[in-house]
Amino acid sequence: MLKQFDDTFRAEIGRAIARLETHSHSEWVVLVKERADSYAQYPLGVGSASAFLALTYVRFATDFFDEWIIYAGTITAFVLGAALTAGLPGLLRVAVGRKRLARSTEIMARACFQKGGLHHTRDKTGVLIFVALLERQVAIIPDRGVESAIPPGEWLKIRLGFSRIFQAKNPAAELLIQLESLQPIISNYIPQVDDDSNELPDTLDIDL
Amino acid sequence: MKPRKPLLATGWLCLALIGLVLSLLSISPSQARMGGGHSYSGGSSSGSRSSGSSSGGGHWSGFPASGYAGHSYAGSGLSSANPSSDSGGGFALFVEIVVLILVIYILLRLLSQPPSGAVKTFQSSYAGRPAATNTSLDGQLLDLRAHDPNFSKVLFLDFASLLYHKFYTYRGTDQFKLLAPYLSKAIADQTAANVFYPKQRVHDIVVGKARIVNVLARGGGDSLIVAFETNLTVQYQTGEQARFVNQEQWTFARQPGVLSPQPEQMRTLSCPACGAPADFTDAGECQYCHVFIQAGEKQWQVLKMSVLSSLPFTSEDPGGYVQETGTELPTLKQAELKTYGETFAKNHGFQDWEAFFTGFRETVVQPYCLATYAAWSAGDWRQARHLVSDRLYESNNFWMQEYARQGWQNRLDNLQIQSVVAARIELDRFYESITVRLFASCLDYTVDKQGKLIGGSPKKPRKFSEYWTFIRVSGVDKRTVEYDLKTCPSCGAPADKIGQAGECGYCGSKISEGQFSWVLAAISQDEAYEG
């Protein structure tokens, strides 16, 4: 999936945001990250559980196992469980759980919002769309001005739209579609003002 | 009923768990014991081998020191002696352990999830946190009153609520300049320059709670922090409306030496210099006396506004039943309660505090409680309009309208007041207030238009305790028939024409500010009350 979010995509995102902002006073930043957290403890946990199950099996199974098999099997189960969980994103997501995935994404998004200085716009019009690929989550962090300018019902629609990008075959293309679909809403509620300036770069990379 | 589903599932899982545990327990000792005793379950030869094998374990590691070398024969030799029971029992045990782990995991997950449904039962946000009086705040307010005898907490909070109301009503409009003397330049400039406010209108503002949370010394002047819990409706330029629940903290400040004005000036936005109705230029010049009013120069100004949270109001909230917590907590009594009580009794010609409080409990607290509960239960909050302050009326009226909008009615039947305990007395130049803790029980339940139960229980009484604060203007004379709840306390006419603003339809007197009798000003839950 990471391939879809390459430099070409970044350039397209920049152009989409520029188009969006020509009709609106708001400032949008899209940030795509491979993952929001390392989740290092989860492979270890799954590995331990696998080792325990392997040990339980060889302990209670009727077949005879040599001691070295018991020893090696337990270790192998641990390594296999840990490696598979670390290497297979789907398995890691199951182990981590949806709630924690969403929470990690939101924490990372808020940190990036702060670190990227999105709160420094004059009228509090910055919005961060944070995409976490491993988590398959999107967090939208609006600054106070934008948040209060758009009714909660519209925000719900926006959030629902972006939450669907990972259900699409091509999430990158879907992200662009969702960005384009923002146009009528934000130009309606946050129209362009006379002295508007581009306060935030249209493409921005933030590392913590 | 939706809320029962998780419980049902939990019940089944509990049964499954018990079944599994029983099935594990039912395994014979030879099956269950360490060392894979299943290999020795049958056959007369088991006895001769059991001492060695049971200590070491059949397939397990084995302890050479015990002389056990049986791992090489235990599995192959003896398992074949009784293949049907041995192989099935061993693997079944493994499966059962795995299933047991899964069941425990699912059970824990289910128990940790709150039940879903229209009516939610949830823990109070204050659960586990014992309430505590903010004694330092009392001392700080006393210091403030020492150099400003006119300072009245009741009046100040009325002023703060008024300003809150006006700020949201006027922002983005031409009238915003009327607030110039009450806002710092930074706030006034920022608000006036905001590009979104002119496109929005805020209305139906309800200040549910306003309380002083801190007193700060600031450059020789006074500074107070007020916490607001409010809700309001924002109307967007498209005509769409949304209601928000806000938690805010506003910092009020004034310059050194400034004293609180008279009550009428704390309840209206008027020129702090001449008292004329507020009419200022953008620069803060009064159009009547032509004095330039600098914010904080003659009256409190808002120095800082912090919106701690602003969340869309969710309509399912009215039916929510909060688990009762805090009833068992000790009553938070003011440290100087006895002293203030005696002062109060002396001021009003009573022999002692107890002599006053007995009558107060029987003629004010209990009748007010019964009357307000009856009004609430009847779904007609206006019946209690003359008994409660403006703020309490507005906030409860909001919730009553929400119930009505959903087609629900919250019934509070069979109210039984167990006891009433004095908790706090505050006396200042303009107001006196008495806070009591009320222990009671009632049948608290919500029904829809068809009488279908939405939440609560019409059979099981719910015990609770609350802190009720009554206020009255200082120096109100004692009357022969002091508290007739069915008449206007000003003119004695029937209290059937009390308007939304708390004015008697017969005499026009505003009776919701305590000028004529006690007014119920606040109701705090026991777990949230801080004195």
**Residue B221 maps to a domain:** yes
**In terms of CA atoms, which chain A residue is nearest residue B201?**
A149
> Both B384 and B515 in a single domain?
yes
> Both B273 and B334 in a single domain?
no
pLDDT of residue A174 exceeding 70:
yes
| B60 in contact with A, Cβ within 8 Å | yes
Q: How far is B178 from chain A (nearest CA, A)?
A: 23
Cβ atoms within 10 Å of B28's Cβ, excluding its own: 12
Q: How far is B148 from chain A (nearest CA, A)?
A: 38
**Residue B321 maps to a domain:** no
Q: Count residue pairs from A and B with Cβ separation < 8 A.
A: 75
| B314 in contact with A, Cβ within 8 Å | no
> Both B384 and B301 in a single domain?
no
Residue B369 has what pLDDT?
93
> Both B169 and B308 in a single domain?
yes
**Residue B141 maps to a domain:** no
> Both B259 and B398 in a single domain?
no
Q: How far is B203 from chain A (nearest CA, A)?
A: 15
Which CATH number fits the domain that encloses residue B159?
3.10.450
**Residue B322 maps to a domain:** no
For B437, the enclosing helix (H) or strand (E) is: strand B431-448
**In terms of CA atoms, which chain B residue is nearest residue A56?**
B94
Q: Which of A56-65, B216-225, B452-461, B499-508 has the lowest mean pLDDT?
A: B499-508
Q: Do B91 and A60 touch (CB under 8 A)?
A: yes
> Both B243 and B201 in a single domain?
yes
Residue B37 has what pLDDT?
37
For B235, the enclosing helix (H) or strand (E) is: strand B221-235
Nearest CB neighbour to A149, from listed B60, B94, B196: B196
> Both B248 and B338 in a single domain?
no
> Both B307 and B337 in a single domain?
no
What's the pLDDT tens digit per position in A143-160? 999 999 999 999 999 999
> Both B167 and B278 in a single domain?
yes
pTM over 0.90? The answer is no
Bridge partners of B253, per DSSP, are B223, B301
Structure tokens at B407: 């087609």
Q: Which residues of A touch B91 (CB under 8 A)?
A: 60-62
* CA proximity to A181, closest of A120, A129, A145: A129
Sign of the Cα pseudo-torsion (B8, B14, B18, B21, in order): positive
For residues A79 and B88, the model is more confident at: A79
Residue B162, classified by CB atoms within 10 Å of its CB into exposed (0-12), middle (13-18) or buried (19+), is middle
The percent of residues above 70 in pLDDT, for chain B, comes to 73
Work out the mean pLDDT of chain B and round it to a whole number: 76
Question: What are the angstrom distances between the C-alpha of B142 and each of A37, B205, B212, B473?
Answer: 51, 31, 13, 19
What's the pLDDT tens digit per position in B37-69? 333 333 333 333 333 333 333 333 333 333 333
For residues A97 and B177, the model is more confident at: A97
**Residue B123 maps to a domain:** no
- How confident is the model over A32-49, as a mean pLDDT? 93
**In terms of CA atoms, which chain B residue is nearest residue A145?**
B196
What's the pLDDT tens digit per position in B397-440? 888 888 888 888 889 999 999 999 999 999 988 899 999 999 99
Confidence class of residue A93 from pLDDT cuts 50, 70 and 90? very high
| A192 in contact with B, Cβ within 8 Å | no
Full residue range of the structural domain in which residue B432 is found? 327-525
Q: Which of B67-81, B165-179, B211-225, B243-257 has the lowest mean pLDDT?
A: B67-81
| A59 in contact with B, Cβ within 8 Å | yes
Nearest CB neighbour to A58, from listed B59, B62, B236: B59
Its ipTM equals: 0.76
Nearest CB neighbour to B76, from listed A60, A64, A67: A64
Q: Which residues of A touch B75 (CB under 8 A)?
A: 62-64
> Both B379 and B510 in a single domain?
yes
Domain boundary among B68, B94, B112: B112
| B243 in contact with A, Cβ within 8 Å | no
> Both B361 and B464 in a single domain?
yes
Cα separation, B199 vs A190, in Å, equals 10
> Both B421 and B453 in a single domain?
yes
| B200 in contact with A, Cβ within 8 Å | yes
Which CATH number fits the domain that encloses residue B501?
3.10.450.240
**Residue B117 maps to a domain:** no
Q: Are B498 and B488 in contact (CB under 8 A)?
A: yes
Q: Which residues of A touch B200 (CB under 8 A)?
A: 148-149
Residue B321 has what pLDDT?
65
Angle, to 10 degrees, between the axis of helix B4-25 and the axis of helix B83-112?
Answer: 150
Q: How far is A81 from chain B (nearest CA, A)?
A: 16
Q: Which residues of B touch A144 (CB under 8 A)?
A: 307
Q: Which residues of A touch B309 (CB under 8 A)?
A: none
Domain count along chain B: 3
**Residue B254 maps to a domain:** yes
**Residue B319 maps to a domain:** no
Q: Which of A88-92, A199-203, B224-228 has the lowest mean pLDDT?
A: A199-203
Q: Are B273 and B282 in contact (CB under 8 A)?
A: no
Domain boundary among B94, B112, B130: B112
Which residue bears the tokens 């959903």? B406
Residue B45's SS3 state is: coil
| A57 in contact with B, Cβ within 8 Å | yes
List, in order of start, the domains of chain A with CATH numbers.
2-37+97-189 (3.10.310.50), 41-96 (no CATH)
Amino acid type, B156: F
pLDDT of residue B123 exceeding 70:
no
